[in-house]
Amino acid sequence: MIGGIDKYIFLDNIGFLLALLSGQIDCVREVGRAATLLFPLRLEILRLAREPASSSELAARLGLPRQRVNYHVRLLARAGFLRRAGRRRRRNMIEQRYVASAAAFLLSPELLRSVGPDWRRVGDSGSGAYLLALASQMEADLIRAAGGRADGPERETALTLKSQFRFVSPAQREQFTAALREAVVGVIARHTSPASEGSPAKTYRLVLGCYPYLPETGPPPRPA
């Protein structure tokens, strides 16, 4: 039996694009910024800097020398991952406090350029590799769309459909796939606007993916 849909969003200003436009997610698209970010200690600093903290406060929580932590804090601030968040007096010193510039950070698939996954080069459309490549394309499309409209007056619309269900046999899975394909093709045929030159219609891309789900066993280990 197919489980119920536990998340359905099709509203203006809600979803992934809203998060990008409002600064909740910093999408890293430059190689230099990615190189600065991908350092275990710096990732831990950003995790701790969700609330304002100075280099001394961060060093105490990490159990590391202040000078070492301050070096990484300065690099993160220079790359735009940390922003100034006021000062505090500590004994006879005034310490600068920092806070993470976004709630989360995302590496854009565009960083891999020509060696990144391309769904058109994966022959088996029913494979996990095909779905991963297509998901990578979708992620890049969303980031590019958000970056292009960050200063525009229009609000983007995104749709998210998420569900979890079970099959007891390959035959049941195939029946589900056929029924889903027929339903989706029918909905698109009934509601899409024809492509024509000068048409005001916006273009949307729909990606549906189904994959085996394994529950997470716990959080990843923290870097030393």
Instruction: Tell me, letter by letter, the H, E, C secondary structure of 174-197.
Output: HHHHHHHHHHHHHHHHHHCCCCCC
Cα–Cα distance, 101 to 76 (Å, whole number): 10
Helices (H), 14-127: 16-21, 31-37, 40-48, 55-62, 66-78
- For residue 97, give the H/E element and its range: strand 93-100
CATH code of the region 31-104: 1.10.10.10
Looking at the chain, the whole-number percentage of residues with pLDDT higher than 70 is 82
Q: What average pLDDT does the chain have?
A: 83
Is residue 162 over pLDDT 90? no
pLDDT tops 90 at residue 157: no
pLDDT, tens digit (0-9, with 9 covering 90-100), for 26-42 = 999 999 999 999 999 99
User: Is pLDDT above 90 for 151?
Assistant: no
pLDDT digits (tens, 9 = 90+) for 44-79: 999 999 999 999 999 999 999 999 999 999 999 999
C-alpha to C-alpha distance for 186 and 175, rounded to whole angstroms: 17
pLDDT band, very low/low/confident/very high, at 214 (cuts 50, 70, 90): confident
Instruction: Report d(CA 53, CA 88) in Å as an integer.
Output: 9
Q: What is the mean pLDDT of residues 164-177?
A: 93
Least confident of 33-42, 123-132, 152-161, 204-213: 152-161
Predicted confidence band at 219 (pLDDT cuts at 50, 70, 90)? low
Do residues 166 and 176 touch, judged by C-beta distance below 8 A?
no
- The pLDDT assigned to 141 comes to 87
- Distance (Å) of CA 31 to CA 35, 105, 116, 129, 166: 6, 14, 14, 25, 41
Helix or strand (DSSP H, E) at 90: strand 82-90
Burial of 122 (0-12, 13-18, 19+ CB in 10 A): middle
29: burial class by Cβ within 10 Å (0-12, 13-18, 19+)?
A: middle
Domain ranges for the chain = 5-28+108-191, 31-104
